A and B are shown apart, each in its own frame.
Chain A
Amino acid sequence: MDDTTPPPPPEEQAPPPPPPATHTGSPTDFLKGVVGKRVIVRLTSGVDYRGVLSCLDGYMNIALEQTEEHVNGIVTNRYGDAFIRGNNVLYISAAEVI
């Protein structure tokens, strides 16, 4: 099995492979790519923070600029700058093309 390549799957049934994503790479590459971009940071509590990602560190502590706090889709607060402690972060989503 190691020295023989398996036969290609039947082409008539298999869907075409998805086009390669524009940005591939490791999670670290993603995070490097979104610094300076608009992001959505969701916390485990479900609260979203939308703003420009200033920087982040290995704990996923985050510094955001022009931050809006969204709870259930409603803006509940605005901060010029905000430090978010990394343990609360559920995900970081790019809100513009990176």
Chain B
Amino acid sequence: MESTIQEPFDLIRLSLSERVFVKLRGDRELTGILHAYDGHMNLIMSDVEERIMLVEGIDVGPPGQGATVKVATRKMDMLFVRGDGVILVSPPSRT
């Protein structure tokens, strides 16, 4: 597989039409089918589920007990992702 990847974008190119995991700024994650991308890592995805990690009560209560992480999810049929929000893209494992 290494021979097919000469530059990082090859990893994305090989993931077109596949379900990918995308980590975004602001503690957000997406999984969805990748339809298109460009050099900014702008993405077009479909059948997307977004997971938003919300930390609540970080400064209340005794230490180690106050903070809880709540995960909000939502689904979108079609989504344009602006590239500057992208941290990481992981294709489906090819193991």
Contact = CB atoms under 8 A, between A and B. Distances in A.
Interface of A: 43, 45, 49, 54-57, 61-63, 67, 79-85, 87-88
Q: Which of A56, A61, A83, A88 has the most CB of B within 10 A?
A: A83
Interface residues of B, number: 22
A67 B87 CA distance: 14
A82 B5 CA distance: 12
Contacts, number: 63
Given A84-B88, A87-B84, A54 B5 contact: yes
A55 B8 contact: yes
B77 interface: no
Nearest to A63: B8
Interface string B63-91: 00000000000000000000110111111
Interface stretch (B9-17, B44-52, B54-62): B9-17
B5 A79 contact: no
Contacts of B7: 55, 57, 61, 63
B11 A85 contact: no
A35 B41 CA distance: 22
**DSSP majority for the B interface?**
mixed
Contact of A83 (B8, B93, B94): B8
B88 A85 contact: yes
Contact of B87 (A54, A63, A81, A85): A85
Given A80-B95, A81-B91, A85-B41, A57 B86 contact: no
A55 B5 contact: yes
Given A63-B8, A79-B21, A80-B93, A54 B88 contact: no
A82 B10 contact: no
11 contacts: A57-B8, A57-B9, A61-B7, A61-B9, A62-B8, A63-B10, A79-B90, A83-B89, A83-B90, A84-B8, A85-B88
